[in-house]
Amino acid sequence: MKIGLDIMGGDYAPDAVIEGAVDALVQLASDDRLVLIGDNRRIREKLSSMGAEPSRFEIVPTTQVIEMSDHPAKAFSQKRDSSIAVGFGMLKSGMIDGFASAGNTGAMLVGASYTVNVIPGVFRPALVALIPNLDGRNSVILDVGINPDCKPDVLLQYGILGSVYAKYVLGIEKPEVGLLNIGTEESKGSAAVKASYELLRESPEVNFRGNIEGHDLFTHDMTDVIVCDGFVGNVVLKMAERFYGIAKTRGINDTFFDRLNFEVVGGTPVVGINENVVVGHGISNRKAIMNMILQTRDVVHADLARKIKEAVGG
Amino acid sequence: MKIGLDIMGGDYAPDAVIEGAVDALVQLASDDRLVLIGDNRRIREKLSSMGAEPSRFEIVPTTQVIEMSDHPAKAFSQKRDSSIAVGFGMLKSGMIDGFASAGNTGAMLVGASYTVNVIPGVFRPALVALIPNLDGRNSVILDVGINPDCKPDVLLQYGILGSVYAKYVLGIEKPEVGLLNIGTEESKGSAAVKASYELLRESPEVNFRGNIEGHDLFTHDMTDVIVCDGFVGNVVLKMAERFYGIAKTRGINDTFFDRLNFEVVGGTPVVGINENVVVGHGISNRKAIMNMILQTRDVVHADLARKIKEAVGG
């Protein structure tokens, strides 16, 4: 299995990315390979300075960089030798089994939609995040940022995509699905959410439990899969991250709050596309990069993109 | 100044409500009066058992109760001698200056909209909540539950209503307004939020700073007023409450987390209607009721409903 890593993406690239790759390598199985995509000279210099053996990686040299401030679609089409464009090319041609980057999220989504393409039958891809439960488990929440406006059929499908993720990546046999809402009653919520409640309830493809509310998150009342539009999901995710920061600010050391630290989570998989792609936080440090790579490994080992294809395409 | 209190509303009514009223009374000015609306016998028995002097209150006897499970509009129109219906009648006729209840929220909103009525020029009333800042101050967030779908002009007006609240109730001279969104750029967000960004930016009536994100909440990056639809606002509020519970569960005693406890906040004012109304949490205990009354006092002292009328109606 080969994981492609964009060495040039992220606020602390390339150093922190290479450091994270070195840390991740020791945790990968011996037949898992890391493909470092980026500036050849800088990669080799950094590996050398770390005393790491370049032969343990594959290195794919590129000459261009899509900056965080670049216009995603324009940069993706114009910088054909950028690490992101090259990574998606390798992914599409099967040279790597998964691709991870902490670079320009917009460019990653352009690559996801226009190079590897959306799976036929998927209305809109989604970004998936994990929400820690006090009981030690994790739940899957989607979408957390791609689609701020979601039609009911899109929300229903997120229930299906999230269930596939929970089953194959987290190993939950029959994941319960909840609809994030502002009350427990069926009649609550926005027009789109109310309509999606009915679709979820009637669908034989999801194990729907009903609405869950903001105070159900993190607790035993939380479902395995939490369906919401990318607006509210993004606010939930960023607010949870803030509580990690608040705990640190207040001098609180607690293993639950530590699980809200994005560094521990690593990245956000894109689901609904033909290949396995994970997008990292722009501010990813060494530890976050390492965890992004391990998460990509889990997604690739679960064969997630193909499992979703089977669930949606039949 | 007279505050009407629904003695029959809430999961622990009437005992916890009466207890909270007794606690609040000692914190009110000598010319502030509490009007207890509910079952006369139970009020007198409870006051007696607490050794509290009935003459320090006004008691308005009612014979009916709108239950938490009652259909709001139906119960409000049929139970004319319920504490909620009587309270709104007194409010409309000027016999009380504010009305607070931890009872059936739907019935409270029916009374707000159809008895005291929406202020001419207000598109939709909103529920206002406070979000604590780590620096000790509070911000105002609205809507937190009435309107899950908000058009751009409604969101703009929430900026105005929230500014009036922040100025007159919290004493912030020129409140900064932020739009809760999923990125800092103007181009981010749902269609409604993007359009409201433009309206807020162009409005001379609000001091608009731009978008704020989930991780800006609680920090110095948070604006004095946070504008959002009632869906995301409700999720934010309930999720914040959950973090109080998580802190308790984890054995964390911290003054910041304590401020996320709804008992401390008390209630949620309804803004955009002709009178001052505060809705409490159904699970309000003695302390929460006390704080709901004190919050109602603050809103009445600020003459909030009239200030909003002036801001909107001109």
pTM score, whole prediction: 0.96
**Contact by Cβ (8 Å): B286, B132:** no
Among A104, A109, A146, A190, the residue to mutate for chain B (most B Cβ within 10 A) = A190
Check residue B266 and give its pLDDT.
85
Mean pLDDT of the region B191-216? 97
Q: List, for residues B131-185, the tens digit of each pLDDT value.
A: 999 999 999 999 999 999 999 999 999 999 999 999 999 999 999 999 999 999 9
CA A276 to chain centre: 9
CB contact under 8 A, A213 and B245: no
Chain B: residue nearest A134 by CA?
A: B246
Does A266 score more than 90 pLDDT?
no
Q: Which two tokens stand for residue A287?
A: 């530890």
**Strand A33-38 with A176-180, pairing:** unpaired
**Contact by Cβ (8 Å): B214, B196:** no
Minimal Cα–Cα distance from A74 to chain B, Å? 16
What is the C-alpha to C-alpha distance for residues A75 and A60, in angstroms, rounded to an integer? 20
Segments in chain B forming alpha helices (H): 15-25, 40-50, 72-78, 83-92, 105-111, 152-168, 191-202, 230-249, 255-258, 262-265, 286-301, 304-313
Q: Which residues from B are below 8 Å from A216, CB to CB?
A: 242
Check residue B220 and give its pLDDT.
95
Chain B: residue nearest A150 by CA?
A: B190
ipTM over 0.85: yes
> Who's near B161: CB < 8 A, 6+ residues apart?
B122, B126, B128, B142, B271, B272, B308, B311, B312
Among A191, A218, A242, select the one facing B242 at the smallest CB separation: A218
> Who's near A111: CB < 8 A, 6+ residues apart?
A76, A84, A85, A87, A88, A277
Per-residue pLDDT band at B51 (split at 50, 70, 90): very high
Q: List, for residues B100-121, the tens digit of each pLDDT value.
A: 999 999 999 999 999 999 999 9
> Who's near A169: CB < 8 A, 6+ residues apart?
A298, A299, A302, A304
B256 reaches A (C-beta below 8 A): yes
**Contact by Cβ (8 Å): B15, B52:** no
Does B78 score more than 80 pLDDT?
yes
Mean pLDDT of the region A110-134? 96
Among A188, A193, A242, select the one facing B215 at the smallest CB separation: A242
Say which amino acid occupies B138. Answer: N
CB contact under 8 A, B193 and A231: yes
Q: List, for residues A169-189, the tens digit of each pLDDT value.
A: 999 999 999 999 999 999 899
CA B171 to chain centre: 17
Q: Which residues from B are below 8 Å from A134, CB to CB?
A: 246, 249
CB contact under 8 A, B182 and A145: yes
Check residue A314 and give its pLDDT.
54
Query: What number of CA atoms fall less than 13 Å from residue A50's CA on the CB side?
Result: 18
CB contact under 8 A, B217 and A237: no
Residue B68: which H helix or E strand, with range? none
Check residue A26 and give its pLDDT.
94
Minimal Cα–Cα distance from A220 to chain B, Å? 12
Q: Which residues from A are below 8 Å from B148, CB to CB?
A: 182, 188-191, 193
Helix (H, G, I), strand (E, B) or coil at A70: coil
Bond prior to A14 in cis (omega within 30° of 0): yes
Minimal Cα–Cα distance from B218 to chain A, Å? 8
Closest CA to B275 of B251, B244, B252, B309: B309
Closest CA to A67 of A146, A11, A127: A11
Among B145, B239, B246, select the one facing A239 at the smallest CB separation: B239
Instruction: Supply the Cα-derived Rg of chain B in whole angstroms.
Output: 19
Q: What is the DSSP letter of B299?
A: H
Minimal Cα–Cα distance from B279 to chain A, Å? 16
Among B134, B213, B240, select the one facing A238 at the smallest CB separation: B213
- Which phi and psi (to 5°) does residue A145 adopt? 165, -15
Q: List, for residues A280-293, the tens digit of each pLDDT value.
A: 999 999 999 999 99
Average pLDDT over chain A, rounded to whole? 96
CB–CB contacts below 8 A, A to B: 113
Check residue B262 and give its pLDDT.
87
Domains of chain A: 1-120+272-314 (3.40.718.10), 123-263 (3.40.718.10)
Q: Which two tokens stand for residue B92?
A: 């409309």
**Strand A58-61 with B276-280, pairing:** unpaired
Q: List, for residues B258-283, the tens digit of each pLDDT value.
A: 999 988 888 999 999 999 999 999 99
> Who's near B256: CB < 8 A, 6+ residues apart?
A246, A250, B132, B134, B218
